[in-house]
Structure 1
């Protein structure tokens, strides 16, 4: 059981840091610190979008339309944090 718990924690930690990198990169692109026309920036951004869009899409369907403000990454962060810090330890270590 400990091995399954550690594997789930590893996956949730990786997901957390990938989402964090996506959010930080979106800020850097919006504030023109990074240039989307550079091939490295464009390939990293497209890779992160392709990786996280299947996670964000169901959340966006549930949330009301907020215009340019995308709350899907925030909700995904909260879900990952809740799973990582509250739910999984409660399931495995009762």
Structure 2
């Protein structure tokens, strides 16, 4: 059971970084720091969106419209922190 919880925590930590990298890349593309016409940038962006959109889309549908500001990644990151803390504080210490 402990090994499974370790894998879940590692997966959540990796997904945390995927969300951060996707957000930073979207800012870089929006401010024209990196060129989206570059195939590598486009492929990275497509991959990151494919990993994050299935989770972010339901959050965006439930959130009020805030104009150009998208805080759904922040909500998702807070959710990941919540899940990690529940696992660490309540489930993990009770594993024998």
TM (norm. structure 2) is 0.90
Q: Paired residue for 1:11?
A: 11
Q: Paired residue for 1:32?
A: 32
Structure 1 stretches of 4+ with a deviation exceeding 2 A read: none
Query: 1:79 Cα deviation (Å)?
Result: 0.7
Stretches of structure 2 lacking an aligned partner (at least 5 in a row): none
Q: Give the secondary-structure state (helix, strand or coil) at the position aligned to 1:93.
A: helix
Provide Cα deviations, 1:56-79, integer angstroms capped at 9, x if missing partner: 011111111112111111101111
Q: 1: distance between equivalents of 2:2 and 2:60?
A: 34
Aligned length: 93
Stretches of structure 1 lacking an aligned partner (at least 5 in a row): none
Q: 2: distance between equivalents of 1:70 and 1:78?
A: 14
TM (norm. structure 1) is 0.91
Q: Paired residue for 1:57?
A: 57
Query: 1:38 Cα deviation (Å)?
Result: 0.7
Query: 1:31 Cα deviation (Å)?
Result: 1.9
CA RMSD of aligned residues (A): 1.1
Q: 2: distance between equivalents of 1:93 and 1:22?
A: 33
